[in-house]
Amino acid sequence: MAVRCRCTLLLALCLALPAQAEVLRIVAGMIPGFCEAKDTAAGGVSGVSCVLVAEMARRVGYKRPIDLMPQARSIETARAGPMVLLPLGRNDSRETLFQWHIKLLEDDVVLVARQDSGIDISSVNAVRDKPVGGLRGGMAFDIAEREGLHRLEAVAEERLNARKLAIGRISVWVGVWNTIKRAQASENLPVSALKRGVVLRRAEIHLAASHDVPLSELARWKAALDSMKADGTYRRILADYDYELPR
């Protein structure tokens, strides 16, 4: 009888393992240059973060598509879980919400203005009385709020900040530099028309995980990223997206 019980328990555990693996989900916030919807070989996604994660997924045998959604909703979805991975910038307000074991990229959170504006963007204090645009739910917006910028204007997509800056509806744009570059180009506006100001924070973009994702599973994804760096795939993907590493 005891032997039969043990066999029944082992069978139940074996049947449960594939089901647990199946519930793992990848979501991503739509951010220009990092995660975008495209009909590509990378499972319908584009952008440096999502293509990196799509290649990691291929190497670990993950078959499901990356679920793209607005940035703020992607964070709430990942917080609610269960078993969610999310390419996401790491900052103080998010620190306790997720696990942060897999760093994908680094970038700079900066202030930018139009080259012809004459606006001083050398410090946060210099722009406290200026209208500043940022991405709702984005890391840069959170940082700007913590810095005490009180005339922040939130948008759902970064390309809207590019438009608003071009026509003078905002004076300053706060964002992650590579996202700003991509959003500017997506609106057929020259990146050369922008000037960079103070760096507010060195940003780390991680493949964050809800707290119920096992460390053993995260180790598999980290090993996939390490293998991409070893064989040159990581450098190639960054080059494909003209990704500018922090200065």
pLDDT tens track for 120-163 = 999 999 999 999 999 998 889 989 999 999 899 999 899 999 99
Q: If pLDDT is split at 50, 70 and 90, which confidence band does 15 have?
A: very low
Amino acid at 34: F
The whole-number pLDDT of residue 138 equals 86
Q: Are 246 and 176 a contacting pair, CB within 8 Å?
A: no
- pLDDT of 64 over the 80 cut: yes
- pLDDT of 13 over the 60 cut: no
Tell me the average pLDDT across 33-50. 79
Report the number of secondary-structure helices (H) and strands (E) in the chain: 8, 10
β-bridge partners, 196: 112
Greater pLDDT, 161 or 17 = 161
Q: Count of alpha carbons within 13 Å of 126, Cβ hemisphere only?
A: 13
- pLDDT of 53 over the 60 cut: yes
The whole-number pLDDT of residue 117 equals 94
Tell me the average pLDDT across 65-70. 93
- pLDDT of 9 over the 80 cut: no
**d(C-alpha 226, C-alpha 106), whole Å:** 16
Strand blocks (E) in 95-190: 103-114, 132-135, 152-155, 172-176
Domains of the chain, first to last: 23-106+205-240 (3.40.190.10), 107-203 (3.40.190.10)
Mean pLDDT score across all residues of the chain: 89
Tell me the average pLDDT across 20-39. 81
149-153 contact pairs (CB < 8 A, 24+):
149/124, 149/174
Q: If pLDDT is split at 50, 70 and 90, which confidence band does 40 have?
A: low
244: closest CA among 111, 48, 88?
48
The whole-number pLDDT of residue 12 equals 44
Give me the phi and psi of 202, to 5 degrees please.
-75, 120
Q: What is the pTM of this model?
A: 0.74
Alpha carbon distance, N-terminus to C-terminus of the chain = 68
Q: If pLDDT is split at 50, 70 and 90, which confidence band does 39 have?
A: low
Amino acid at 145: E
Q: How many CB atoms lie within 10 A of CB 22?
A: 11
Tell me the average pLDDT across 30-37. 86
Q: Are 237 and 106 a contacting pair, CB within 8 Å?
A: no
Tell me the average pLDDT across 94-110. 96
Q: If pLDDT is split at 50, 70 and 90, which confidence band does 247 have?
A: confident
**d(C-alpha 229, C-alpha 98), whole Å:** 24
